[in-house]
Amino acid sequence: MSLDSVRLSQPAKDRLSWLKRTTGIPNWNVLCRWALVMSLKDPSTPLVKDIVTDSTVEMSWKTFAGQYGDIYLALLKQRCIADGDEPTDENVAKTLTIHLHRGIGHLGGQKEFQSLEGLVGAANPT
């Protein structure tokens, strides 16, 4: 597993497909970014479980992170350290996968995140 590409598990893909409908955000990568940030925001260490990235949804790191790739990477490294791992490529990739999927879980699990307004409102709590 490398940082070159980001791949989702089948349940995550299903959930995202549903979220695509409810939020009206048409792109996987955008939703994935939101999901990643949701998880990074949560200071608790995620439970490590085996994530089988077996879905057909796969995107390059560049597609995933877009313009702010360096920053996302820095954040991932920071989290990696915070979670007690060396920010090696492997660890960073792992962190990404874990947090991404935890975030997707968050989005799917909480009703307020199931709409675009809810999402943006969460980022913009005014």
Partner 1 sequence: MLLRNITLEEFGAYRGKQSLDLTVKKSKPIILIGGLNGCGKTTLLDAIQLALYGPRARCSGRGSKAYETYLRESINRQHDPARGSSVTLEFTVTVDGKEHYYRVVRSWHVNGKTLKEFLNVSVDENYVTKPGRRTQPELKYSRLLSEGWADHVEDLLPLEVASLSFFDGEKIESLADPERAASVIESAVHSLLGVSTVQQLRTDLLALQRRQKLSDEEQHLMDNIRAQEHECESVQEQLDVAEQDSKHQDALLKNARHKLESLEREFQNEGGGLFERRLEIEQERKRADERLAELRLSLAQLAAGPLPLLMMRTHLKDVRKQARREQSAAEAGQVLDVLEQRDQWLLDLLPEDARDTITKRLEEDRAKRSKSSVLKVDFVLPHDALAQLTVLDEVLVRDEARASELLAHVAAAAEELDQLDRQLAGVPEQSKVEDLQKKRAAQLKELARMEATVARGRERAAELKRRRANVEAALERAHKEFVRTKVKAKEVERIIKYSEKARGTLERFGEALLQRHISRLEVAVLQSFKDLMRKRGLVQDLRIADDFRLTLTDSQGDTIDPGRLSAGERQILAVSLLWGLMKVAGNRLPSVIDTPLGRLDSRHREHLVDRYFPQASDQVLLLSTDKEIDEYLLGRLKKSVAHTYTLVHDDTTFTTNVVEGYWWNEGALHVAR
* Interaction between residue 57 and partner 1 (CB under 8 A): no
**Contact predicate 96/6, CB 8 Å:** yes
Segment near partner 1 (CB under 8 A); pick from 11-19, 46-54, 56-64, 77-85: 77-85
Q: Which of 17, 21, 58, 68 binds partner 1 (CB under 8 A)?
A: 68
Q: DSSP characters for 67-110? A: GGHHHHHHHHHHHHHHTT----HHHHHHHHHHHHHHHHHHHHH-
* Interaction between residue 18 and partner 1 (CB under 8 A): no
* Interaction between residue 105 and partner 1 (CB under 8 A): no
Work out the burial of residue 64: count CB atoms within 10 Å of its CB; fewer than 13 is exposed, 13-18 middle, 19 or more buried: buried
Q: What is the rounded end-to-end Cα distance, in angstroms, of the chain?
A: 39
* Interaction between residue 81 and partner 1 (CB under 8 A): yes
Binding site for partner 1 (CB under 8 A): 23-27, 30, 33-34, 36-38, 40-41, 67-68, 70-71, 73-75, 77-79, 81, 87, 116-117, 119-124, 126
